[in-house]
Structure formats: structure tokens, C-alpha cells
Amino acid sequence: MMKHEFEALAGYEVSWADYNDIIEPMYMATNLSKAEFVKTVNKNRFAIKPKEKYIKELKKLAESLKDTCEHYTDYETAQNFERTIFAYIDRCWGIRGFKNVHYTITHGYTYEHLGVCRGCAYPKTIIFYDAKHYKTLEELNLF
């Protein structure tokens, strides 16, 4: 059974790592039909968040970083932002090219004192690119 067949029957998506390392070997070791096998798989363990939830979370974290940047540096939110980016990369491109997918963050800037650029930077756009093939995969505008 292919990954896309499993996801169509199950009604949810799974990560490439879980599919290749756990689900496919389990299926190959059983004599169950595809439909019967899908019923035995624990959705709570294997289902992954949709891309939209990751994007919503990244936008929320970016907004928080923008709101706090003139007052203090929120290291915890910055770390959560970076962890969410890596989770998004794993979710979208998984083991098919994880080592080749990189990202660049373009920043927006806050201004204070009559337009003099003395404010701080916050994440505005994330550009994901394939380093091996020199092409942009996706661009997320956070604002």
C-alpha cells in the first residue's frame, strides 16, 4: 500500500517517517486487507496537523514577536517559532528532502523617534528553498 492510499482510506495524513518506519512494515507483516488494516492504526498516534494549523501557529508567534520586540526579547517565543518552522519543514517535505530544505526569514522593522530606524526586527516572511536544486519551494507571508 502506498502512503497516499493509506491517507485516502484513513482520512488523515501521516508523516513520511511514521509511514516508512512503522505503518508500511506493519502492513507488510499482516494478511489484512487495506481497509481492515487502516482500522487497526491508532489515529491519535499517527495523524499529523494540517499545514494550515502550522501556518496559523507561525503567524501567531510572529505577531507575538512583533508586539514584544520594542520592549524586550522574548527568547521562548523565538525558540518556539524556530521549532515550528522545523516541524513545518518536516510536515511538508519530510524525509524526501529534509536535508536540502532551508529557510530564510525576511524581517519587518519597527521605528521609533520620528522615523529614525532604532527599533527592532520581527519575522515578516519565511522563504523555504531547496538548496540542492536552487529553487524556492514556498513563501509564507506572516503579515
Asked whether the whole model's pTM tops 0.75, one would answer no
Question: Which carries the bigger pLDDT value, residue 70 or residue 80?
Answer: 80
CB 137 within 8 A of CB 101: yes
Q: How far apart are CA 123 and CA 112, in angstroms?
A: 18
Q: Report domain extents, the chain.
A: 3-46, 51-141
pLDDT digits 0-9 by tens, 75-117: 999 999 999 998 888 888 775 545 678 888 888 776 654 455 5
d(CA 95, CA 116): 45
Main-chain dihedrals φ then ψ at residue 13, nearest 5 degrees: -95, 150
Q: Are 43 and 49 in contact (CB under 8 A)?
A: no
Bridging pattern class, strands 135-141 and 101-109 = unpaired
Bigger pLDDT: 123 vs 70: 123
Chain centroid offset of residue 47 CA: 14
84-90, long-range: CB < 8 A, 24+ apart:
84/54, 84/57, 84/58, 85/58, 85/126, 87/54, 88/51, 88/54, 88/55, 88/58, 89/128, 90/15, 90/17
Mean pLDDT for 56-63 is 94
pLDDT over threshold 90, residue 139: yes
